[in-house]
Structure 1
Amino acid sequence: MKKHIFSFLIIFIILSSLSFSYTVRRGDTLGVWVLGYPEYSIEKLIVGPQGDITVPPIGRVMAEGKTLEELEKEISLKMESYIKTNKITVGITQYAPFPVTVLGNTNVNGIVDIRAERIKLSELIGLVGGIKDISKSSYALIKAPDGSEQRVNIEWIKTGQKGEDPYIYQNYFVLFPFDYSNNINIFSEFGTSSLNYFEGMTLKSVLASINIPTNKIASNIIIIRNSEIMEVNFEKTLKEEDFVLKPGDTLIIPYNYTNKVLVFSDFGSVSLDFFQGMGIKSLITLIGSNAGISMPISQINDQITIIRGTDVIDLSLENITKGNDFLLQPGDSVLINKSQNYVYLSSEELSKRVDFEKNETMNVRTLLVKTGINESSVEEVRVNNEIYGLESMLQTGDFVQIKVKRNYVYLSGAFVQPGKVTFLPQENITLDKILAISKGFTQDFSGNLIIIEENGISKNLKVDPYDLSSFQNINILPGSTIIADTELKVAYIFGEFSDVVQYKNGQTLFELLIPFNLNESYEIRYQISDKSEVINASEKDKLEKITLSGKVFLEIAKTSSNEVIVYKAGETKVIQNKIVRLIDVFSSVNGFAPVDKGTIEIYKDGKIINKIDSQDLLNNLMLEIPQGSYVYVKPNLENSYIAVLGNINPKSIRSDVPLSLVEILSTSQIDWKNQELVYIYTEKNAEIKVNIKDIDSLRNVLVNPGSIVYVPPTEELVVYVFGEVVRPGLVTYNPGMTVLDAILKAGNVSKTAQMSTVYLFKDGPENPPVSLDLAGINKAAPVKTGMNPEIKPKDIIFVPKNALTSVVEVMSTVQMFMNFINAGFDTYQNITEIF
């Protein structure tokens, strides 16, 4: 086990050394490991809403915003007053989710939660379902919270090869703009299309792919490349030299009529018959009335381009509508674009692109109206990570973050989804809405709700979880905390095993005991309500008929040993077979080696029950050894041994002369404070009883070679720790032990413990206890003077769940615990300790 823990420590030391630069965030789960002190190590410390963690025994430590190295140094410094060596390792066991906003040409748009320290751009693309149309995006635009931008080429994704792949962090914006710069765009009366460019693409290959009748193509084809206009002779291209295209080229293929005006637009393309006096105004009117193309003038971009031969003429639509029209000529090509005014919006409710009309006021207030967000509920507006006002103007492509004011209600206890529930400022908060969001109650809901308002006023509410109509008119104030009480379904386990186990409705005693893997060597004494009974662990039929309810008390006692211990010259073997024979014992320690002669002595309950020498061994190899026996294999060596057994580490001392009992016990780690008697069994099976409290007699006791020194078990001095601790029950007493020492030995307090009212029973459970305020330990502050007194054996400590627990209720609960434990003392007296 120690090796296993050490391996984990090495792994986390390496991980933490690689992550020292990481800054801890709210919601992260940390692990704190104290080398050599597993009782102070903990793997699940969640950084709470206030940014702190609670580290036993030093209390609360602010973690948010600090690096792991800074936390290690701070915790190590505070631990110095509790432990001698303080090698502290802090690591991340689970990252809190952080938001990244993704917009543009991806299958998923919006805010994405990332559960990692950071994420690569390629991983983020996979997380949002990939690029929607990879031919329409050649780069990603990454914006950091400080406003800095990074443009990353993503062309490598098309080939599957490695390319630039930066990391994305918390609150980053990632935009995948639609980009047509790598396409060949074709405008003609026969249709409008966009083709993916490939290396070596020519005009002839494009004409062949779009299936246009060659006899209807005009003699010259217009190619626009980076604002340069070129005319390519169609017939020469077909018969002589082909024309090589480049990415982003725009092809205008005129119809083979000289009395036409061609219109190419984002709304659609059309060829119109030219007439004398035809101008831009009449052209837009004709398109809307005769061509069947909807082209609202409010959506047309102000700049209109006329291509006349090799000339390019740029016009302002606003100037044309307010002044003189622009007259067209036969063969003109008119390029009309759609007005592009938009921003990217990100809020808790939605993330999307918002378009503005051409003449629409493009400011924050208009954006709120367009998206239905009430400006009175807006807490903050940031544009490109800078704070903006409601009248601030916006530019196309801006990133707008809107933080909306919220009202909160906190849910705890038997809700299906406990936690923080949010509502809009003007929203009426009712209990039925809360239950709809939290998906109702769990099965162990007791029917009692505790509502604690923000001003501290609390009230109890009895509800029927099967009649939700009664919740509609129950209003809840913002900031309130609602606790759904649970029925107490918990089993307290004592004896050979110590644990607190929660069980489910309808569970039986047999199902509860399955994880303990008990056999006929164990007896179960249980108390459920007023019923108490003792059952052997092998009586499955009886255990399956006992249904658990309320508080359950269990005592698991081992009534007989199911193992045989074999000792030979300092070597100890444990045999746990159902049937153990003498040949099993003899083989387990390699016989009498290094000699072939000796004796085997079998002890049961501290008395020798059989002795077999090497001459009788062959006739007794199939002799069955009773369970719980101790077998001493004694090779017949020239030198003799003194065996030391019992309530210490077994060992063998080789000696040719008698040794002082003091000398033997001084190297045996005996419990001098509690031990009183020691037994010496001589080679002739004589028993010598020695009171080691009598120092004068002890110095004069000599132990001859071949003897056995047996140290019987002592009665363990204990205190009782109950209530909100990890391992309630008996705790071994040490001289000078205080209340806090006992609580830490019980595994420390649980998260629900109320440390401001800890009860200490000095005169038994029937007399009123002393109330102690130990709340300072939660804040790493000193405990008040006199609040952590020394305790004595048999004292009782009770840690309540909340400060409202009455003394009468505490005394009743403690008496129930103690009655159960005291009733089990007779069982403990009958358990035989193994040497």
Structure 2
Amino acid sequence: KKTIIAKDNIPLKNNMYIDIIPVEKFVYVVGDVSKTIYFDKKETIDKSTILAKLGLTEDKIKSFEYETLKPGSIVKIKIKKNYVYTSGAFNYTGRLDFDISEPITLSAIISKARGFNNEFSGELVLFNNNTSKTISIEENKIYNNIVEPGTMIMAKTSKRDVYLLGEGVVNGTYSAKLNDSLWNVLLRAGFVPSEKYEIEVKYNGEVKKYNGLDAENTLSNMPISGEIYVNIKKIKNDNVLIYKNGSVKIIVPKANDYVTLIDVFSSVNGFSPSNEGTIMVYNNNEKIAEYNSLDVINNPLAKIPQGSYVNFVLDVNLNYITVLGNTSPRSIKTEIPIPLTEILGQLSIDWKTQKYINLYKANGDFEEIDLDKVKSLNSILIDPGTVVYVPTTHNQFVYIFGEVLKPGLIPYTKGLNVIEALFKAGVNPQTAELSNVFLFTDGPNQPPIVLNLKDFYNGGNVPESMNKLLEPGNIIYVPKNVLTNVVNVMTTVSNFMSFFNNSYTTYNNINNIITGK
């Protein structure tokens, strides 16, 4: 047997096997384009044919490199590119590449950069060939302005923060979008327009008040720039608030503008755990009625108007120790004093937050017990007739704002320190100046303590003197710039806290009434 590779015509013979092997003509293209290009037998391997098969033209090519153009050759192609650079308030910053045939317009740049973040001021600054140009951008408008390749486009930033506090909204700090109105921010925070609310706005040093139902027209046309403080107060109460045993219950009148005495009595299980007591009703900060157990029987349909505060005062039995407040209420029958530790062992208390309990003795004396002083607790005896009151801790907070992800309130727990609070609020070490963290321990109007926590975020240790233990009401401010002026910080903190404190005026008034202060 014999194998012949035939390149010319040969005579065919019997029993001859013929294997036809096609000849492939191709080149490898690398560089900005990676592809294998095949050619027909009669096609010429040259630059114009390769570019045609790639759908490219000469004006798009930056370089076309090869050693030889024959089957199996490698061709390296680089394509000309249009590009610009973005910085500032764009969602994407860096180099943006465009196809050579694609015009570089402002709208195309904004699209490729995925728009702007919430700090965009509405102005773009274009830098090219030692010149600059400022362009104002409007929302939902198309900009076909042609931009030269190599231009640097900076989206200018502007702070637009709304500090929102009060009732009927989710409290917090809201970053407004470009051309966003204050009314839109309120709606995003869950505000439902109603004449029950008054909206107080502090902006550019001025304080203005608006009716919660009529404010839409004005606040819809109020753009946001810098910092705006908003406090929403409920000026018309349509509920009936009931206080008993340290807890608060709310009844909403259904069809009328009042509820009945029996509605109130049954909603809190009467005078339990005591047998007798007094029901005092307040409206507009004045006492308007007083009822006892006989009134509940003889006059159950007595009207209690909406907006009233109702306080249940339970009678003390001198053969019992009564436990009230922020725990399960109970009466402990005894004729002899009982150790406080024995009573505490029966109570469901959140020991992480509970620092004090109050003793109201039968002779009228008051004593506050510090639960952190463990050694002294064993020596305290509770006499029959004493009311052990566990104060609520739900309104104990530490305030933190500035360069943190979740500014606002952090529930206080015993042992909470500055670094733990910063972790809970979420600090961005890239923007926060951690060598100058301000801690206010005596309110916003007193100079703060300056803490250097930078070493901790760099993996080092922080002295205990820098990682302070916190108390309820402490304020932490994380600045953005190491040169932040303490006076400016105090002004910002004071503005924030004045609005925050005002938002709880209603709560404090209620609390003073029902506790008899």
Give the TM bin, normalised by the shorter chain: 0.5 to 0.7
Q: 1:555 aligns with which of 217, 227, 231?
A: 231
**How many angstroms apart in 1 are the aligned matches of 2:402 and 2:504?**
23
Structure 1 unaligned residues grouped into runs of 5+ = 1-301, 305-310, 317-336, 380-388
**How many angstroms apart in 2 are the aligned matches of 1:806 and 1:474?**
37
Q: 1:699 aligns with which of 374, 380, 383?
A: 380
Aligned pairs for 1:152-191 within 5 A = none
Match of 2:491 in 1: 815
Match of 1:644 in 2: 323
Q: 2:366 aligns with which of 661, 668, 689?
A: 689
Match of 1:774 in 2: 454
Distance 1:459 1:574, change over 3 A: farther
Amino acid at match of 1:721: I
**How many angstroms apart in 2 are the aligned matches of 1:346 and 1:628?**
81
1:436 correspondence with 2:108: yes
Tell me the SS of whatever aligns to 2:309.
coil
C-alpha contact (below 8 Å) 1:511/1:544 kept by paired residues: no
Amino acid at match of 1:356: F
Distance 1:406 1:516, change over 3 A: same
Amino acid at match of 1:437: I
C-alpha contact (below 8 Å) 1:640/1:655 kept by paired residues: yes
Distance 1:719 1:395, change over 3 A: same
**How many angstroms apart in 1 are the aligned matches of 2:302 and 2:29?**
86
Match of 1:629 in 2: 310
Deviation at 1:661, TM superposition (A): 7.6
Deviation at 1:652, TM superposition (A): 1.3
**How many angstroms apart in 1 are the aligned matches of 2:110 and 2:490?**
36
Match of 1:358 in 2: 41
Tell me the SS of whatever aligns to 2:406.
coil
1:490 correspondence with 2:164: no
Q: 1:499 aligns with which of 172, 178, 198?
A: 172
Deviation at 1:493, TM superposition (A): 2.0
Deviation at 1:644, TM superposition (A): 2.7
1:753 correspondence with 2:428: no
C-alpha contact (below 8 Å) 2:360/2:388 kept by paired residues: yes
C-alpha contact (below 8 Å) 2:451/2:466 kept by paired residues: no
Larger Rg belongs to:
1
The CA deviation string for residues 679-735 of structure 1, in whole angstroms up to 9 with x for no partner, is 35x6xxx85433446979x9355133xx75445568977654221213323545666
Match of 2:4 in 1: none
Amino acid at match of 2:172: D
C-alpha contact (below 8 Å) 1:408/1:420 kept by paired residues: no
C-alpha contact (below 8 Å) 1:740/1:788 kept by paired residues: no
**How many angstroms apart in 2 are the aligned matches of 1:722 and 1:743?**
10
Amino acid at match of 1:753: T
C-alpha contact (below 8 Å) 1:761/1:770 kept by paired residues: yes
Structure 2 unaligned residues grouped into runs of 5+ = 1-6, 10-15
Higher alpha-carbon deviation: 571-580 or 723-732: 571-580
**How many angstroms apart in 1 are the aligned matches of 2:461 and 2:127?**
29
Amino acid at match of 1:541: D
Amino acid at match of 1:742: A
The CA deviation string for residues 256-279 of structure 1, in whole angstroms up to 9 with x for no partner, is xxxxxxxxxxxxxxxxxxxxxxxx
Distance 1:631 1:347, change over 3 A: farther
**How many angstroms apart in 1 are the aligned matches of 2:415 and 2:64?**
60
Match of 1:418 in 2: 92
**How many angstroms apart in 1 are the aligned matches of 2:238 and 2:494?**
27
Deviation at 1:748, TM superposition (A): 0.9
Amino acid at match of 1:503: A
C-alpha contact (below 8 Å) 2:280/2:291 kept by paired residues: no
**How many angstroms apart in 2 are the aligned matches of 1:760 and 1:592?**
48
**How many angstroms apart in 1 are the aligned matches of 2:271 and 2:475?**
52
Tell me the SS of whatever aligns to 2:121.
strand
Distance 1:811 1:621, change over 3 A: same
Aligned pairs for 1:15-414 within 5 A = 354-360=37-43, 367=50, 370-371=53-54, 372=56, 411=86, 414=89
Amino acid at match of 2:292: I
**How many angstroms apart in 1 are the aligned matches of 2:196 and 2:387?**
28
Amino acid at match of 2:212: E
C-alpha contact (below 8 Å) 2:25/2:71 kept by paired residues: no
Distance 1:643 1:341, change over 3 A: farther
Tell me the SS of whatever aligns to 2:401.
strand
Match of 2:333 in 1: 655
Tell me the SS of whatever aligns to 2:159.
coil
Match of 1:584 in 2: 263
Structure 1 length-normalised TM: 0.43
**How many angstroms apart in 1 are the aligned matches of 2:80 and 2:451?**
44
Aligned pairs for 1:668-747 within 5 A = 669=349, 675=356, 677-679=358-360, 687-692=364-369, 699=380, 701-704=382-385, 708-711=387-390, 719-731=398-410, 737-745=416-424, 747=425
Q: 1:602 aligns with which of 279, 289, 293?
A: 279
Distance 1:740 1:669, change over 3 A: same
Tell me the SS of whatever aligns to 1:545.
helix
Percent identity of equivalent pairs: 27
**How many angstroms apart in 1 are the aligned matches of 2:209 and 2:82?**
55
Higher relative contact order (CA 8 A, sep 6+): 2
Tell me the SS of whatever aligns to 1:754.
coil
Structure 2 length-normalised TM: 0.63
Deviation at 1:529, TM superposition (A): 1.7
Tell me the SS of whatever aligns to 1:418.
coil
Distance 1:632 1:354, change over 3 A: farther
Amino acid at match of 2:299: N
**How many angstroms apart in 2 are the aligned matches of 1:452 and 1:676?**
66
Amino acid at match of 1:358: K
**How many angstroms apart in 2 are the aligned matches of 1:641 and 1:408?**
84
Deviation at 1:770, TM superposition (A): 3.8
C-alpha contact (below 8 Å) 1:448/1:460 kept by paired residues: no
C-alpha contact (below 8 Å) 2:321/2:334 kept by paired residues: no
Match of 2:206 in 1: 531
**How many angstroms apart in 1 are the aligned matches of 2:46 and 2:435?**
58
C-alpha contact (below 8 Å) 2:194/2:213 kept by paired residues: no
Amino acid at match of 2:263: D
Supply the RMSD in Å over aligned alpha carbons.
Answer: 6.2
Distance 1:343 1:729, change over 3 A: same
**How many angstroms apart in 2 are the aligned matches of 1:512 and 1:410?**
36
Match of 2:292 in 1: 612
1:476 correspondence with 2:151: yes
**How many angstroms apart in 2 are the aligned matches of 1:571 and 1:719?**
23
**How many angstroms apart in 2 are the aligned matches of 1:811 and 1:451?**
36
C-alpha contact (below 8 Å) 2:404/2:426 kept by paired residues: yes
C-alpha contact (below 8 Å) 1:365/1:391 kept by paired residues: no
**How many angstroms apart in 2 are the aligned matches of 1:486 and 1:737?**
35
C-alpha contact (below 8 Å) 1:344/1:353 kept by paired residues: yes
**How many angstroms apart in 1 are the aligned matches of 2:449 and 2:64?**
54
